[in-house]
Amino acid sequence: MTIGFRILPRRQGVSPDLVARFKALPVANVSDSMHRMAAAGPRLRAYHASGTLAGPALTVRSRPGDNLMLHKAIDMAHPGDVIVVDAGGDLTNSLMGELMLAHAMRRGVAGFVLWGAIRDADAIREANLPLWAMGVTHRGPYKDGPGEINVPIALEGMVIEPGDLILGDGDGVLSVPVADAPGVLELTEAKQAAETAQMQRIKAGTNDRAWVDDTLRRLGCAMPDGA
């Protein structure tokens, strides 16, 4: 086995039922349910027009500016997969454009998270397959390798194992480990129900805001009478 230039099988993945249930939940609430300790970072930007992302990760580690292994990952992908690429965060050369996106859509790929750049940004936005990347450049990629598929990768400190759940919406991208997904789902659905009830109280004018002053007093904040 050659470290750095290899393709491995994916041995685990989140179930379609979990994917569907998570997709209905805000990424922010999932993040809160994981104690806000995981994030791919604010440098990732959505380049599709609208829509959310949820699916098991097909991971790729590639040399900066090279997309040989990304091409292979698209050929390997199962419908519903999210292809996540660690290309070192380099923005000199793009990793993919509209032709690769069209091929991926034909194969049923759910979306992309690219720790690198894209090109054909207008066409990608119009195609509207969920895609997050770090930037845009017209300069194309090389196809020489090396690289790896289905290995652990990390984006801005967020570790992603093959098959982990990848989520994305307007607030960014989040990875949920396979083993933790059922428990995180339970916590997030409870949080979502609590926030829905709170929104109803806000609209009705009955939301209790006493906690704000209680917290300030507990922390020793000096306040004038009647504040």
**pLDDT for res 2:** 85
Please report whether residue 204 resides in a domain.
no
Cα 84 to chain centroid, rounded: 8
Query: Mean pLDDT throughout 151-171?
Result: 97
pLDDT > 80? residue 1: no
65 is in an annotated binding site: no
How many domains are contained in the chain?
Answer: 1
> Picking from 23-32, 85-94, 217-226, which range would have the lowest pLDDT averaged per residue?
217-226
Is 98 part of any known ligand binding site?
A: yes
Per the domain annotation, does 154 fall within a domain? yes
Give the span between the Cα atoms of 58 and 140, in whole angstroms: 23
- Residue 180 assigned as binding residue: no
Taking residues 62-88, report their average pLDDT: 98
Q: Assess if residue 167 is contained within a domain.
A: yes
Whether 193 is covered by a domain: the verdict is no
Residue 100 assigned as binding residue:
yes
Given this model, what pLDDT does residue 51 score? 97
Is 11 a member of any domain?
yes
46 within 8 A of 170, measured Cβ to Cβ: yes
pTM recorded for the entire structure: 0.95
Tell me if 208 is assigned to some domain.
no
CB 95 within 8 A of CB 114: yes
Q: Which domain holds residue 13?
A: 6-187
Specify if 112 maps to a domain: yes
Is residue 163 marked as binding? no
Please return the burial class of 136, using the count of CB atoms within 10 Å of its CB with bins 0-12, 13-18 and 19+: middle
Domain containing 121 — which CATH number? 3.50.30.40
Question: What's the chain's average pLDDT?
Answer: 96
